[in-house]
Amino acid sequence: MRKWLQLFSRRRAVQQALAVAPRLAERPSITRAFRTSNHSRAQAHSHSHHSPSDIEKRIAQIPIERYRNFCIVAHVDHGKSTLSDRLLELTGTIQPGGNKQVLDKLDVERERGITVKAQTCSMIYNHKGDDYLLHLVDTPGHVDFRAEVSRSYVSSGGALLLVDASQGVQAQTVANFYLAFSQGLELIPVLNKVDLPHADAARSLEQMKDNFELEPEDAILVSAKTGWNVEAILPRVIENIPAPTGDPSKPLKLFLIDSWYSSFKGVVLLIRVFEGQIKAGDQVVSFGTGRKYTVGEVGIQYPDQVPQSVLRAGQVGYVYFNPSMRKTQEAKLGDTYTKVGFERQVQPLPGFEEPKPMVFVAAFPVDQDDFEHLEDSINQLLLNDRSVTIQKEASHALGAGFRLGFLGTLHCSVFEDRLRGEHGASIIITPPTVPFQIKYRDGREVTITNPAEFPEGDHTKRDIAELREPYVMATLTFPEEYLGRVIEICEANRGEQKSLEYFTATQVILKYEMPLAQLVDDFFGKLKSSTKGYATLDYEEAEWRESSIVKLQLLVNKEPVDAVSRVLHQSQVRHVGKQWVEKFKEHVDRQMFEVVIQAAVGRQVIARESIKPFRKDVLAKLHASDISRRRKLLEKQKEGRKKLKAVGNVVIDHSAFQAFLAK
């Protein structure tokens, strides 16, 4: 269990709790934060051998040459968090054992067993009689969170490349390896889970050599779970990973790694000091926004926040401003800060391109009266995830809602889970879509993220020079026996094989270029089910490619159901169109008249189904004098009206949309 992560993600647990109940008045939420905060302080004492002033005194004695900043690069579940725990115990930062406090982990992280947000922790380690200050940054394994991953790499001098000896190199090991390698990180191979009976260290070492040119004799074999040989790691960190460079007497140069919102203290910044030093009372300025702030508190994560009087060049720690930043949006990740007055003397770090959202869904409240509630909860979730984009959207069939943009499929489904966690059945979420580019003959280039904006009709088509869709490079790893099935799936999803690597033992690494649109269409689900769960997948954006894409629409009695329209490749139109009409038919009740359901591209009807009318009008059978019965019927109808969506003259229950839009 990840005790240290839990400790400082407790603050996030509070936000999580708040996000789940956004209507909680501010007062109770503050009380909760207080309680949590005091509680976590108490925990800090029981977890750490050192008092805050001891820590400060010891750190003050450590020169920058004895700092080491490092992270752990690994595939999901290979044991990063377990190993982090062991390292923190070894250095006395936390005490061994302790309670497993399930509540403290960000809910989705716990449920899915993945780390979403990068976390950091400082440790003091005595090696051959000298104290060393170590900063461990725990990075997310999934490359959807590539931006977070690369920011943690920038703040590190090296990384432990951690591989589960029973599974060997997996898709994210490969992807994260290249990311770390391209940032010039010093890598130390570590083979974990050697206690497992089916661990195959020799094979994994061979894979590491083949893939990453890492020598087997350099690898450290450990069991993070039992703690076996973990003590061999930190001496290697000290010997192999270079100390950060920086001069505490130079003007301040500070890099923003991450930020999050604490309802107790406002926006917290996780930073790395590159040059100079920072302390409470300093006036600082952001190169990204030009805004100025006064520093309220600085400190280190140990693993709780431990205030320090100063943070020096080479250190990784946290900063609060006073008054605090109001919104996390002000904190541009990858931004550089300096002291006011030194703007001209300091060259900002290159920073990061803001990642662009590539996967979109629309979310609508079933009952329009819930619109504000939905807006509140989305905004709460956005406080801690500024990479989600949001736009209001209106649909004839579903009313007012939001279009949300995400970095990738996992990012999207994690957010969706949180939203559903709160709204359950009272929210309709459309299946994920990807952006498309339109190049017009007059030279204009437009990227559209909403199928409703996709041009229709022949007159607009004449103006279009080219349509493009995004492609990704997918890396898949799986046991050799599934090769045939996996290739079939990739080909069926318009994939193009780029490389196929075999290992003497049974693992295959396959690379395919394929449209992102196919990947978001439950590609991973299909892959998992045909490999008994053994396949791993990772992908990176490749390029925009010209493509014959069209807009498919669902029509009910000739009226388009805008929420259901989708842009897709010509080759899929028939298959999807047929599926749509058959599925929608199942969910629409009989009406007094015939209902015709069609799937169409422009004026061309691709598929058609119809629902026969009632044979007799039920209401008409009622006697005119049967007033009370008639009133009851009308009242019932009124109640129901909220839940009903009218498309043209056809009234459709919201559950029809829900069932239809659900996968």
Ligand X SMILES: Nc1nc2c(ncn2[C@@H]2O[C@H](COP(=O)(O)OP(=O)(O)OP(=O)(O)O)[C@@H](O)[C@H]2O)c(=O)[nH]1
Residue 170 in the binding site for ligand X (CB under 6 A): no
Q: Least distance to ligand X from the beta carbon of 349, Å?
A: 27
Q: How far is C-alpha 329 from the chain's CA centre?
A: 17
Q: Of residues 180-199, which lie at the interface with ligand X (CB under 6 A)?
A: 192-193, 195-196
Type of residue numbered 154: V
Report whether 118 contacts 148 (CB < 8 A): yes
Instruction: Map residues 215-254 to x or -, x wherever contact with ligand X holds by CB under 6 A.
Output: --------xxx-----------------------------
Report whether 355 contacts 147 (CB < 8 A): yes
- Nearer to ligand X (CB atom), residue 4 or residue 337: 4
Residue 110 in the binding site for ligand X (CB under 6 A): no
Residue 74 in the binding site for ligand X (CB under 6 A): yes
- Nearer to ligand X (CB atom), residue 47 or residue 403: 47
Residue 201 in the binding site for ligand X (CB under 6 A): no
Residue 113 in the binding site for ligand X (CB under 6 A): yes
Contact with ligand X (CB under 6 A) among 55, 114, 300, 313? 114
**Residue 640 counted as an annotated binding residue:** no
**Residue 80 counted as an annotated binding residue:** yes
Q: Least distance to ligand X from the beta carbon of 115, Å?
A: 3
Q: How many residues bind ligand X (CB under 6 A)?
A: 19
Residue 200 in the binding site for ligand X (CB under 6 A): no
CA-angle at 48, arms to 42 and 51, nearest 5°:
80
Contact with ligand X (CB under 6 A) among 50, 58, 62, 77? 77
| 160 beta partners | 72, 188
Tokens found for residue 506: 């049974």
Q: What is the Cα–Cα distance from 262 to 326, expressed in whole angstroms?
A: 11
Type of residue numbered 613: P
**Residue 192 counted as an annotated binding residue:** yes
Q: How far is C-alpha 660 from the chain's CA centre?
A: 26
Contact with ligand X (CB under 6 A) among 6, 29, 43, 82? 82
Q: Least distance to ligand X from the beta carbon of 85, Å?
A: 8
- Nearer to ligand X (CB atom), residue 193 or residue 339: 193
Phi, psi of 326 (to 5 degrees): -80, -40
3-state secondary structure of 622: coil
Residue 80 in the binding site for ligand X (CB under 6 A): yes
Q: What is the Cα–Cα distance from 423 to 425, expressed in whole angstroms?
A: 6
- Nearer to ligand X (CB atom), residue 118 or residue 554: 118
**Residue 76 counted as an annotated binding residue:** yes
Residue 578 in the binding site for ligand X (CB under 6 A): no
Q: Least distance to ligand X from the beta carbon of 119, Å?
A: 10
Report whether 555 contacts 561 (CB < 8 A): yes
Q: Least distance to ligand X from the beta carbon of 173, Å?
A: 11
Give every CB contact of residue 640 below 8 A, 6+ residues apart in sequence.
none
**Residue 51 counted as an annotated binding residue:** no
- Nearer to ligand X (CB atom), residue 68 or residue 105: 105
What DSSP assignment string belongs to 418-458? HHHHHHGGGEEEPPPB--EEEEETTS-EEEE--GGGS--SH
In the sheet with 220-221, reading across from the earlier edge strand, the strands are: 119-127, 130-138, 67-74, 158-164, 186-192, 220-221
Q: Least distance to ligand X from the beta carbon of 536, Å?
A: 12
Residue 79 in the binding site for ligand X (CB under 6 A): yes
Distance set, CA 32 to CA 37, 125, 305 (Å): 8, 35, 18
Stretch that binds ligand X, among 70-78, 99-107, 211-219, 332-340 (CB under 6 A): 70-78
**Residue 384 counted as an annotated binding residue:** no
Stretch that binds ligand X, among 63-71, 78-86, 306-314, 441-449 (CB under 6 A): 78-86
| 81 half-sphere exposure, CB direction, 13 A CA radius | 21
Residue 90 in the binding site for ligand X (CB under 6 A): no
**Residue 79 counted as an annotated binding residue:** yes
Type of residue numbered 314: G
Residue 18 in the binding site for ligand X (CB under 6 A): no
Type of residue numbered 646: A
Stretch that binds ligand X, among 109-117, 306-314, 492-500, 548-556 (CB under 6 A): 109-117
Instruction: For tokens 């669902």, name the residue.
Output: 554
Q: Least distance to ligand X from the beta carbon of 116, Å?
A: 9
Q: Cβ of 17: how many Cβ atoms within 10 Å?
A: 17
**Residue 81 counted as an annotated binding residue:** yes
- Nearer to ligand X (CB atom), residue 106 or residue 363: 106
In the sheet with 359-365, reading across from the earlier edge strand, the strands are: 389-395, 399-406, 359-365, 427-429
Give the residue numbers of the binding site.
74-81, 138-142, 192-195
Binding site for ligand X (CB under 6 A): 74, 76-82, 113-115, 141, 192-193, 195-196, 223-225
